[in-house]
Amino acid sequence: MHYLRTFLFLILTVVCCPTKGQCPSDTLTTTIFSYNPYTWTVNGTTYDQSAHVEFVDDHCTLQQLNLTIQNPRIIAERVFTCGAYYWARTGETYEIDGTYTSAGTDDAGNPVTYELTLTINNSYGASTGTTSCDEWMWHELELPIGDGEGSAVSIDGSGTIVAIGNHRVGELEGGAVSVYQWTVGGWQQLGDTLQAEHSSDKFGHTVSLSTDGKRLAVGAPYSSNGDGTQQGYVKVYEWNGTQWEQQGIKVIGLTRYDEFGYSVDLNNDGTVFIAGAQSSNRVAFELGEARVYQWVGDAWVQLGDYLYEYEYENIPDNHGSDVAISGDGQTVMVGAWYARHSNGAYAGGKHIIYDWDGSSWQERTTFHGYRRFMQIGRAVTLNEEGTHYASAGSGDRTQSGIVFASQGTLGELHSDVTGDLMGRSLSLNQQGNILAVSSAQNDDVAQAAGKVAVYRFAGGKWNQLGQTIFGEVHMEQFGTNLEINGDGTVMIVGSNNGINSSGDPVIGTHVYYLGCATNATTCSSAVVYKNGAWSNTTGPESGDVVFVEDDLMLSEDLEVAVLTVTAGNTLTVNSGVTLDIKGDTEIEGELIVNSGGSLLTYEGNDFQGNVTFKRTTRYADGKYSFVGSPIYNDWTQQADVLAPIVYRYDQYLPYGNDGLSRWLDASTYYLISYLGFAAAGQQEITLTGIPNVGSHSGYMGYAEDTTTNSDHWGWHLLSNPYGAALDVSAFLAGNSAINGFVALWDDPGSDQARGDNSDYLIANALGTVAGPNGGQFTGYIGVMQGFFVQMAGANGTVTFTENMRVSGHNADTTFFRKTDELHRFWLTISDQSGNYSETLVGFHEEATVGRDRLFDATRQKVQSAFNVYTLLEQQALAIQGLPKSSATIAVGHDLGSSQTVDIAIKAANLPAGSTIKLRDNRTGETHDVGNEPVPIKLQAGVSVHQLDILVDFGDALNTNPGERFRIHTFSNYWMVSLGESGNQGVYQLLNFAGQLVGFGEWTGNNLELQKPATTGVYLLRLQVGNRLIVRKLIVE
């Protein structure tokens, strides 16, 4: 609703001082913006209307008050839906079209009017907030206007009123502006078309509507105002219910060729505007400037000084090439697209942001384009609060275009196509998370037909929202101007010129709204949790739009389409519970994920507000946990939020002091989503922010440190970047640049003494082996959990993706526990002093007898340690994967002194009928081993090969006994055994491309097969009678 104001203009001038009988010699001006009545302390009077007041005080000073009483800010929301709509602002469900309002206050206590414009019609695809769409699409709302309009456009907050200017048409051909309002019957013009004063005005070169659509500013930058000076002017109009009525006199440029009105922008309620005079010579040749004007009483009064930055003589900066203003009029942005960079980059361009401090404009930030002809500041835009911005330029001489935004990576939005001119026009929604960008010179459809794309900031980056919209005809320059409405759901796009197939000129204007790609005939009804109960009694199902309007604690998994937690309420996700939000999320209250709980959100969806993650680590004392962050890093949070003691690992440093030299204090290091940290002294970690979604990648080095062996090269401490558990198998399969395992810290007591490299729990696709304290693992990495990876011999990229996440598997009680789902067993050694070590052997149909990245995991040999592992070509393996066949497996150990240890087989999961024996190569004895330990004396040393494991599956894995065979690997050959005599047949060895590299006949029990000279993956095909056996082999 719009309220017309009655303005008060008071001038109280005292000719002489009442006490001294003399005229005032000084003047002091006070400028006030207020949403409420204002009491001026100078004279003690309270004013409830905008006013200009003058008063001479007892000190003979002329006190002036410029007071603007502003309307409550309007936060507009536009919804298209095919059914009844529940609006959380009022707690009401609306079933008919209309505009609905709700009063509130902002964080500063200022009044705010929330405005919902609702259209219910089955022919429209449901829009944001009404359902979860698999794919969004921009649908056009046609305008009933002819060719020749659309070179300047503006849209109100609700997306129902649009202003369209064309500086080439009109009664005097000096430009004209028309305003339209959307009704049930389509677009209807509001009042008469506004006309230029002179043929040269280019009236309508720029237009700007207030948020309620009832005030309109129009620029005419080339008007000479009747004297040939081309000063330009700006007019502001107000809708009186039947016509557009000019407010005050027009504001005219100050100098010859000023081009004042080249750019213009109105604040939320239309009481403040900024206009650019990009060719102003007032200070220097085409330095340009911008000026801000405030509505006081019944006149426009300049607010503060001229806005420009004078850096280089005789260089045309063109300040005012574009301008933007915040909703309250207290923050402005000025583009200067031809400004020079200090590095000499001609026409690099720049933008400047100013804040009003109550008496003058203070520069907040300046950004310079750093390449020649980057031309930053060609287009600029601010959000409602003035906290987020975007600025665009040509990019360089290629004119491809580039956009810089305050959210995300600078320059993230850019074109690689010469001449695209991406960023010709920009527009942010009120919140600043949706950005419309045009590429007016794009040639995809026709030469310079143009295109427009809209992006939404979610998950720490800009993701395209809906499809790209293309111009259709030659030289249309679709997107020359555009603007998006308050909530980013309706957009108006103008064109500059074009030629249709008949050769006739075409200039058009288009309006689009955001809806589902497929028109919805039924909408998801809102399910509301309020007063301790669900509105549908049974609770939400997947696909429902859910509002939480009371405190709610989830005790079971919940999947929803769209989630809103309203102000003052808290939604808590308990341990062991997963909240899966398929679509958009708005958290005005609180969303808390307790330790062990999981949250799944998705890239491309909107997440407004914050979530609080809690993680209870294993230790509250000085023991270390490896941890990380599941929230988006905005480069404000440092690692000391994790714990009072926090370290990071730098593999580029020399491996001194047994690796201790690589640990660095990280208290002032920024939290980066996928990096891990060692933290102590904090058992419960609490982090708040926007949850990470999408892919997260980091380039990892492989530094060859000549001070140590390659076992210590290429290690990086990472962490799960998501709010849900990470599947280790999926992570390893998706990262070929690392060795096929992860190492998790299994702290034996680092608060008392340093642990060593044997204290890590090693996990790969087969399972895990624990450190000396016997901790175990689930196969998943929990929220906030850190882990080590080792690069596979070279620099590379490590990537996390959403499809590596899982629901559940994140509870504190299962942080280091395991499940038995594969054919495998653990060989353990222990002694009376409590020392413990284990190694895992697993059998998988994809494993080979050689090195397998996904199934083999190395273990570092440690002098004077207590270690056991298997050996493959003298390489120590914490985990060894083998084909599903009987095998003889070499075992190595590290012991500081000879001693008798207890050796056992733990958690064997082998087929029925299988046997495991242990051969002592020192004594020649063979031992049956199982869960009950067998005492064996082991020799002292490092990498001592004293034992072999003998695994016999019998007939358990083979349909035919003749298919039981083993492959032993040696440095230059493989030894293949069928397990019984009397066999004959043929064999083939093929490389991975399918080329034959070896063949021969198969006779008897054993075959010695030479390894090819070329490294790679090979296939061995054995034909035995009517049976074909295929095994994968690897040469490293």
- Report how far Cα 303 is from the mean position of its chain's Cα atoms: 38
Q: Which residue, among 310, 266, 311, has the nearest Cα to 289 in the 3D structure?
A: 310
313-356: pLDDT as tens digits = 767 888 999 999 999 999 999 999 888 887 877 888 999 999 99
> For the stretch 356-368, what's the b/e string if a residue is b when 16 or more beta carbons lie within 10 angstroms of its beta carbon?
beeeebeeeeebb
Structure tokens at 146: 């002819």
Structure tokens at 898: 């000879």
Q: Supply the mean pLDDT for the chain.
A: 83
Closest CA to 789 of 595, 628, 907: 628
Residue type at 844? H
Give the other-Cβ count within 10 Å of 802's Cβ.
17
Nearest-angstrom CA–CA distance, 292 and 274: 4
* Predicted pLDDT at 777: 62
- Name the superfamily (CATH) of residues 966-1035: Immunoglobulins (2.60.40.10)
Three-class SS string for 167-229? CCCCCCCCCEEEEEEEECCEEEECCCCEECCCCCCCCCCEEEECCCCCEEEEEECCCCCCCCC
Confidence of residue 1020 (pLDDT cuts 50, 70, 90): confident
Average pLDDT over residues 425-437: 95
Whole-angstrom distance, CA of residue 930 vs CA of residue 827: 9
Q: 382-391, 564-573, 857-866: which has the minimum mean pLDDT?
A: 857-866
pLDDT-derived band at 432 (thresholds 50, 70, 90) equals very high
Name the architecture of domain 163-374: 7 Propeller (2.130)
The model's pLDDT over 956-971, given as tens digits with 9 standing for 90+, comes to 444 343 345 567 777 7
**AA letter at 355:** D
Check whether 547 has a pLDDT greater than 50.
yes
pLDDT at 623: 72
Indicate whether 1003 pLDDT > 80.
no
- Residue 60's region, left for phi above 0, alpha for psi from -120 to 50, else beta, is left
Q: Could you tell me the two tokens for 485?
A: 């409405």
Mean pLDDT of 403-407: 88
The amino acid at residue 994 is G
* Domain 163-374 and domain 966-1035 have a common topology: no
Cα–Cα distance, 265 to 326 (Å, whole number): 9
Residues, the chain: 1036
Closest of 615, 611, 641, 642 to residue 459, by C-alpha: 611
What is the mean pLDDT of the segment spanning 773-785?
74
Would you say residue 505 has pLDDT above 80?
no
Provide the 3-class DSSP secondary structure of residue 730.
Answer: helix
* Residue 864 tokens, joined: 């004077």
What was the pLDDT predicted at 525? Answer: 64
pLDDT confidence of residue 145 = 56
Q: Which of 11-15, 209-213, 923-927 holds the top average pLDDT? A: 209-213
Percent of the chain with pLDDT over 70: 83
Q: Quick one: residue 664, left, alpha or beta (phi over 0 = left, psi -120 to 50 = alpha)?
A: beta
Per the listing, tokens 């111009």 go with 471
pLDDT tens track for 627-680: 999 998 877 789 999 988 899 999 999 887 777 889 999 999 988 889 999 888
What is the H or E stretch that residue 1014 is in? none
772 pLDDT higher than 50: no
* Segment 881-929, tens digit of pLDDT: 888 777 889 999 999 899 999 999 886 777 777 889 999 999 999 998 8
φ/ψ of residue 151, rounded to 5: -75, -15
Of 1027 and 729, more confident: 729
Instruction: Find where tokens 């080439």 sit.
Output: 168
Domain edges within the chain: 27-69, 81-121, 137-151+386-515, 163-374, 527-608, 619-749+759-806, 823-952, 966-1035
Confidence (pLDDT) at 1? 30
Residue 190 has pLDDT above 90, yes or no: yes
CA 851-855-858 angle, to 5 degrees, is: 65
Structure tokens at 498: 């074009």
Q: Which two tokens stand for residue 925?
A: 């004895």
pLDDT digits (tens, 9 = 90+) for 236-259: 999 999 999 999 999 999 988 899
Confidence of residue 25 (pLDDT cuts 50, 70, 90): low
Average pLDDT over residues 193-221: 94
